[in-house]
Amino acid sequence: MRLLILGGTEFAGRAVAESALARGWEVTVFHRGRHEPPAGVTALLGDRTAPDGRGLAALADAGPWDVVVDTWTDAPAAVRDAARLLADRAGRYVYVSSRSVYAWPPAPGLAEDGPLVEGSPDAVDVPYAEAKRGGELAALAEFGDERTLLVRVGLILGPGENVGRLPWWLGRIARGGPVLAPGPRNLPLQYIDVRDLAEWTLDAAEAGRSGAYNLVSPSGHTTMGGLLDACVRATGADAELRWTEPEAIAEAGVEPWTQLPVWTPPGELHDAMHRADVSKALAAGLRCRPVDETVADTWAWLRSLGGAAPQRPDRAQVGLSPEQEAKVLGLER
């Protein structure tokens, strides 16, 4: 298989590239040159945000490819321009989208036929949800329903994470001592290991699948307790998880998801983030590795970097300060 990845040097795109290389595929990555591409790929440089499509010049005479994987998260017009250029030189377009494309609030158990936000393939500066929906429409407009695969991911964890959610928990627990653990302990979580995302995406592309798929683990693949216990085991830290009720966390003014990454209290936000219907992806071969493997491998990767995870410049830092944590736990000095 000949694969073109638009991106391919960070987190999800890099995982796809590495998975394809391990299969013996011929891999080309088109990127801006900000990060070293994986060894073994053909690298093409360009900035798809350049006006009038000039940033795509490196793709003009390249190819053909069996599959294009596009992880773009910004202006849909960039997806439109790339897809239009590649429509006659690629067999299938895989757009890594997001479950954010569903109209808010997405109902518990929402499947791929749920209501969607508005979007335009020509948009340039729009919020994340509309940008992802616009990207979907751009890919569909150029490649058609039968040649377009829309991978609607949720929370992505695993080695290479450049948002900081699981790395923050690992770093916090590695420091040891009393740790604010947001309850309830048995709160079900739904996420996808980035390597499972990559493997399923390539399997689906090779099988000629099209249409939209929710791609996260089944709800309850692990729980908040399971995730944090795995962090304690992986780090070997002398950490004491102090389980705290959501009401106490809210009263302290601590923000779910951002200050306590991954976690959302029971209710509308949790239903939206952790209760999607993924039966379609499971029927199409989705396999999700155990949480202990995801956590242990992420910790090993962090240690190989000296403990400092990369951070996407377009995402805010996540996590709770030691002072805030101590206040909630009643440990102020």
CA distance 40 to 173: 36
Backbone φ and ψ for 245, nearest 5 degrees, come out as -65, 145
Predicted local distance difference test score (pLDDT) of residue 23 = 98
Backbone φ and ψ for 207, nearest 5 degrees, come out as -80, -5
CA distance 55 to 225: 46
Cβ partners under 8 Å of residue 39, min gap 6: none
Residue corresponding to tokens 């990127």: 31
* C-alpha of 271 from chain center: 18
Residue corresponding to tokens 């093409």: 44
Q: Which domains are delineated in the chain?
A: 2-153 (3.40.50.720), 160-189+219-275+291-329 (no CATH)
CA distance 291 to 170: 13
Predicted local distance difference test score (pLDDT) of residue 292 = 98
Which residue type, as a one-letter code, is found at position 178? Answer: P
Backbone φ and ψ for 214, nearest 5 degrees, come out as -75, 125
CA distance 25 to 43: 14
Predicted local distance difference test score (pLDDT) of residue 333 = 52
Encode the chain (333 residues) as per-residue pLDDT tens digits.
999 999 999 999 999 999 999 999 999 999 999 999 999 999 999 999 888 778 999 999 999 999 999 999 999 999 999 999 999 999 999 999 999 999 999 999 999 999 999 999 999 999 999 999 999 999 999 999 999 999 999 999 999 999 999 999 999 999 999 999 999 999 999 999 999 999 999 999 999 999 999 999 999 999 999 999 999 999 999 999 999 999 999 999 999 999 999 999 999 999 999 999 999 999 999 999 999 999 999 999 999 999 788 888 888 889 999 999 999 999 865
Predicted local distance difference test score (pLDDT) of residue 272 = 94
The model carries a pTM of 0.96
CA distance 178 to 21: 43
